[in-house]
Structures are given as structure tokens and as C-alpha cells.
């Protein structure tokens, strides 16, 4: 009884944070999944055709994490729109949980809850996590960040290493992620080497064998179709300087000013971030400058730079790759503002309460804006209704 009480007292805040993230993201991602939108888009239909049989998956194993789930769903419920979109929603909920873990280790539980709420209510995240497309996997960059954090902070010997190997192997199937893996292994070489030395030789061979088996389908497909290497590395088949310049220009334009994304992802012409998030992002970047020599700041800046490079090159990598990083920085900006407010009013309880309520209210309005943008504006936009006009029978 005493042990149970100790565990409850020790972990209730962590359990509450994860519960909030799971419940909120679960409701937002699963609510009326069949009817909003009611039909599939051509992008969804073409994607589902890639998972219609094991042979098609073997022919092109890219985006394997979602392909396997889609294959199972197609086998049991090939004409149920909700079930066809369920794999993306499940992955979306997992991503939110991983975000909680990363931000919790870096900035605490309160920041983790705020970051998870902001990302799970983002209209572009809702759109991609509620469609049968592999776009949700681009948010999976948070998986690599979570594995590094777990490896760094866990006192366990085997479990984190096994999880990291599985995560790295699975991430190789996502276009462009190989660069993050290679750069991360080089950057954290000493940590990886220190962890490996804890194992006996037969254990090291077993871990290496596990990773090799997991990537065998990818290697075999590349041998049969060498052109897949372009997608694995997130590169276009043809490089065009003018296109790269346009892609680089579109990154800040899509985020801050006017989106040029397809109607399948966002209401035409509105930016990805709202005005509150833009201001908090600027504050977050400013506050991170004071801690620029810390490991987490180097991680955020390095990941952002590599993501921008891949998006600029113009391969199969989308701007979604950058969004988890942006929302972490936005969360940093929010707490930077709150800390400064509490510093100005260190004693006055009324002023402190007003500051906290104003920040909470601004977060609530920001979330409402995105939810309304997705569930009302985007769903009823003529461009969206034209795009989502395919029947599940067309798969």
C-alpha cells in the first residue's frame, strides 16, 4: 500500500500530462473521422493503393510505418473511410505523446502540456493526422528527438538502446530522415559509443542483427529499384536552382504570411501560424539566444537548419518536418513571457494571476482559431469539397 502511494505521489503529474495529451488529441483526431471530410481525396486514394497488397508494399516500402497499418485496415475494412484514416490518427496521437516526453525533459511538465495542446490543435496537424496519407510521418522527427532524450536520461541499460535501434531502422523508411540519423549519430558519437560498451559482444551482435533485419526490405527494394535512393535521401530526381529559391522563399511565406499549400492540408492562402504563435515564436527564438551554447538549443537550431535545407531542395520532404520544432520554440516563447511577467510582479498575487490568466486565455483563443479553421472553414471551403470527392470504392 505504501509503495503504491509513493508511486502515485511520484508520477501523478506525469500521468496527468500524458492523459491530457492523449485525451485531447484522441478527441480531436477521432471525432467524426468518417464525415469530416466525408469522402477521400485523390491523394488518399493513390496512397491507399500503395498498401493494397503486400506485393505493392514490397515494391515500394517507403513510409512503411503507415503502410503496414493501412494494409491491415484495407484487409479488414476496405470501404470504411474512418478505418482507412485511422492509421494516421493513431500515429498522430503517438507523436503528441512523444512531444510531451521531449518537452518534459527539456522545459518541464507545464511546457510539455502547452506544447502538446498547441500542436494537437494546429489545423495543418489535424488535416494531416485525419487523412489516409503519409504526410503525418513528417511530424515523426519528434521520434528521433524523443529517442535521444530517453537514451540520455534513462538509467536502464537495454530497453532504451533497443528502442533507439528500432526507431532508427523504422525512420530510414521515411523520406529524408536518413540525414537526421547520420548527423545525429556523428554528433552523439561519444554517447552512442559509451552505451555500446555497456553490452557484451554477443549482445552487440544481436542489436546490430536486429537493426539489419528491420532494414532488409528497404535494402532489397533499393537493389531492385535504385531510383528509390532519391526518395530515401529526400532528394528530387532533378535539381533546379530556381525551384530551390522558390522553395526557400515559400517556407517563411507559408508559415507567416500566405500559404501556398494544397487544399488537402490547409485553407487556401492563410498562413500556418496565427498572430499569437508568430509573436511567441519570435520571443522563443530571442530567449533561446541566451542559451545558444546548451545542448537543446544546438539540437533545435541544427534540426531546423537541416529541415530547411531538405525542404528547399524540393524532394518528397514537406514543411511538416519543421512544425514540431516551431511549436517547441513557440512554447519556449510563451514561458519566457510568463517568467518575465512574474519577475516584474514577484509578490503581487493579483498581478501574477492576471498574467497567468491572460497567457492561458491567449493559448485558448489560438487553439480555438485553429480548431475553427479546420472543422468549420476548411471543411466548408469550396476547394476542399472539390478535392475530397473520391469514393472508397475507387481504391
Contact between 204 and 196 under an 8 Å Cβ cutoff? The reply is yes
> Across all residues in the chain, what is the average pLDDT?
89
Q: Tell me phi and psi for residue 324, to 5 degrees.
A: -60, -35
Mean pLDDT for 120-146 is 93
Q: Give yes or no for a contact between 115 and 325, defined as CB atoms under 8 angstroms apart.
A: no
Q: Give the model's confidence band at 124: pLDDT under 50 very low, under 70 low, under 90 confident, else very high.
A: very high
Residue 25 pLDDT > 70:
yes
First vs last C-alpha separation in the chain: 55
pLDDT tens, 198-208?
888 888 888 88
Give the pLDDT of residue 148. 85
> Rounded distance, CA 183 to CA 130, Å?
31
- pLDDT of amino acid 8: 67
pLDDT at 7 over 70: no
Q: Are the beta carbons of 254 and 319 closer than 8 angstroms?
A: yes
pLDDT of residue 219: 93
Higher pLDDT, 239 or 309: 309
Average pLDDT over residues 207-236: 91
The band of 4, judged by pLDDT with boundaries at 50, 70 and 90, is low
| pLDDT tens per residue across span 247-266 | 999 999 999 998 888 888 88
A 10 A CB-CB count for 291 gives 12
> What is the per-residue pLDDT for 163?
87
SS3 of 293-362: CCHHHHHHHHHHHHHHHHHHHCCCCCHHHHHHHHHHHHHHHHHHHHHHHHHHCCCCHHHHHHHHHHHHHH
Q: What is the pTM of this model?
A: 0.93
pLDDT at 136: 95
96 pLDDT tier (thresholds 50, 70, 90): very high
- Greater confidence (139 vs 197) lies with 139
Handedness of CA 145, 334, 319, 368 (dihedral sign): positive
More confident residue, 124 or 8: 124
Spatial neighbors of 269 by CB under 8 A, at least 6 apart, are 258, 259
DSSP 210-223: HHHHHHHHHHHHHH
For 246-301, give the DSSP string: HHHHHHHIIIII-----TTTS-TT--SS-HHHHHHHHHHHHHHHTTTTSHHHHHHH
CB 27 within 8 A of CB 117: no
Amino acid at each position: 500500500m505504501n509503495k503504491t502511494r509513493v508511486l502515485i505521489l511520484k508520477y501523478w503529474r506525469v500521468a496527468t500530462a500524458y492523459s491530457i495529451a492523449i485525451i485531447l488529441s484522441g478527441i480531436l483526431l477521432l471525432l467524426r473521422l468518417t464525415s469530416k471530410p466525408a469522402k477521400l481525396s485523390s491523394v488518399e486514394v493513390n496512397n491507399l493503393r500503395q498498401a493494397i497488397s503486400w506485393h505493392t508494399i514490397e515494391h515500394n516500402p517507403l513510409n512503411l510505418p503507415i503502410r503496414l497499418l493501412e494494409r491491415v485496415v484495407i484487409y479488414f475494412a476496405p470501404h470504411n473511410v474512418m478505418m482507412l484514416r485511422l492509421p494516421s490518427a493513431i500515429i498522430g496521437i503517438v507523436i503528441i505523446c512523444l512531444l510531451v516526453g521531449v518537452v518534459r525533459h527539456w522545459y518541464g511538465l507545464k511546457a510539455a502540456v502547452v506544447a502538446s495542446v498547441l500542436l494537437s490543435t494546429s489545423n495543418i496537424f489535424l488535416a494531416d493526422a485525419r487523412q489516409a496519407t503519409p504526410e503525418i510521418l513528417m511530424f515523426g522527427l519528434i521520434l528521433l528527438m524523443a529517442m535521444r532524450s530517453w537514451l540520455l536520461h534513462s538509467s536502464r541499460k537495454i530497453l532504451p538502446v533497443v528502442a533507439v535501434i528500432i526507431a532508427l531502422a523504422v525512420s530510414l523508411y521515411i523520406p529524408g530522415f536518413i540525414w537526421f540519423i547520420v548527423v545525429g549519430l556523428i554528433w552523439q558519437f561519444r554517447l552512442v559509443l559509451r552505451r555500446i560498451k555497456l553490452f557484451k559482444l554477443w549482445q552487440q551482435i544481436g542489436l546490430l542483427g536486429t537493426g539489419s533485419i528491420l532494414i532488409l526490405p528497404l535494402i532489397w527494394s533499393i537493389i531492385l529499384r535504385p531510383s528509390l535512393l532519391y526518395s530515401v535521401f529526400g532528394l528530387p530526381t532533378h535539381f533546379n536552382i530556381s525551384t530551390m529559391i522558390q522553395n526557400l522563399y515559400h517556407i517563411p511565406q507559408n508559415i507567416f504570411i500566405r500559404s501556398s499549400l494544397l487544399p488537402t492540408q490547409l485553407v487556401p492562402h492563410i498562413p500556418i501560424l496565427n498572430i499569437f504563435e508568430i509573436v511567441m515564436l519570435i520571443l522563443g527564438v530571442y530567449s533561446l539566444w541566451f542559451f545558444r551554447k546548451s545542448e537543446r538549443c544546438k539540437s533545435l537550431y541544427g534540426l531546423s537548419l537541416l529541415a530547411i535545407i531538405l525542404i528547399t531542395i524540393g524532394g518528397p520532404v514537406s514543411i511538416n518536418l519543421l512544425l514540431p520544432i516551431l511549436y517547441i520554440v513557440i512554447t519556449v516563447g510563451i514561458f519566457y513571457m510568463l517568467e518575465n511577467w512574474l519577475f516584474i510582479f514577484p509578490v503581487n498575487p493579483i498581478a501574477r494571476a492576471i498574467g497567468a490568466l491572460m497567457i492561458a486565455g491567449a493559448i485558448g483563443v489560438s487553439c480555438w482559431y485553429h480548431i475553427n479553421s479546420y472543422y468549420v472553414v476548411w471543411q466548408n471551403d469550396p476547394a476542399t469539397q472539390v478535392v475530397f470527392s473520391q469514393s472508397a470504392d475507387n481504391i
